[in-house]
């Protein structure tokens, strides 16, 4: 008779599985790569910055490897999709934000945000999704944001791409479920990454953002790893089309005073 406790203990193990992590050169992507490897996955660390991807792979050790991948280049994404066998796991994290009021946006600003955050995510999910569908298994994890639900001045285009990411995740989950592929999103709150450095470097802004969530602090990239491993593993075999908010309680609170943030925003207009 199978020991159910032993079975549960192995639910999160990823031994024998191959993961492609896009954005593995820094921040959440780097920690996701390390976390998946810690649970037994063989990880391909992909990034636009090849040297950074190599550094992450080196920190993991064999069998982790690095690869160059530019989400803004369809040919680069297609090439990565055909590196060896179809991945069992895809994690895609890269994003960019141009912090301006919508009335101050240029077409070039809008193109920059949409091409990476939305079109890049679409390219990765569909290119890898095709391979997974052919193989009859796989888990795709795309990074969205709390901005998919709640916005603020200066983040209109970014928020639109993060809401769009969730729509893409839901649609692809429905389309690929018959082929055994699960597709989910992780939506972080405020995380200390290179993307949020302009806020982190301003003490008044940093504190104001921390005060917006229930835990009253920022997250570290490593705190996203549990969600990634869960969605990648057999612990989530009945989860698809879902969005897991890892936001310190940002989205469950009502409006709270943000005078510091508002004053800071006015000074930077």
Show which residues are catalytic: 158
Query: Is residue 158 within 8 Å of 112, Cβ to Cβ?
Result: no
Name every residue whose Cβ is closer than 8 Å to that of residue 57 and which is 6 or more positions away in sequence: 24, 33, 43, 45, 64, 65, 66
Q: Distance between CA atoms of 220 and 107, rounded to whole angstroms?
A: 33
Distances (CA, A) of 171 to 23, 140, 164: 23, 12, 11
Q: Where are the beta strands (DSSP E) in the chain?
A: 18-22, 42-47, 65-68, 89-92, 138-143, 181-188, 243-246
């Amino acid at each position: 008779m199978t020991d159910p406790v032993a079975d549960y203990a192995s639910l999160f193990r990823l031994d024998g599985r191959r993961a492609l992590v896009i954005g593995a050169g820094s921040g959440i992507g780097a920690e996701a790569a390390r976390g998946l490897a810690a649970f037994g996955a063989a990880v391909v660390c992909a990034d636009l910055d090849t040297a950074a991807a190599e550094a992450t792979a080196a920190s993991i050790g064999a069998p982790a490897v690095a690869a160059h991948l530019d989400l803004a280049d369809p040919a680069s994404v297609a090439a990565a999709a055909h590196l060896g066998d179809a991945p069992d796991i895809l994690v895609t994290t890269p994003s960019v934000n141009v912090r301006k009021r919508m009335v101050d946006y240029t077409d070039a600003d809008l193109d920059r945000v949409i091409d990476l955050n939305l079109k890049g995510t679409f390219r990765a999910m569909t290119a890898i999704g095709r391979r997974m569908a052919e193989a009859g298994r796989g888990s795709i994890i795309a990074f969205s944001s709390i901005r998919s639900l709640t916005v603020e001045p200066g983040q209109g285009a970014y928020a639109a791409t993060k809401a769009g990411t969730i729509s893409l995740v839901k649609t692809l989950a429905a389309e690929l479920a018959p082929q055994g592929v699960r597709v989910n999103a992780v939506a972080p709150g405020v995380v200390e990454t290179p993307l949020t450095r302009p806020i982190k470097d301003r003490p008044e802004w940093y504190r104001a953002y921390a005060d917006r969530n229930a835990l009253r602090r920022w997250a570290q990239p490593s705190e996203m790893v549990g969600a990634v491993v869960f969605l990648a593993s057999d612990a989530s075999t009945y989860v698809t089309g879902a969005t897991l908010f890892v936001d310190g309680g940002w989205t469950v609170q009502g409006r709270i005073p943000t005078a510091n943030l508002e004053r800071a925003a006015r000074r930077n207009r």
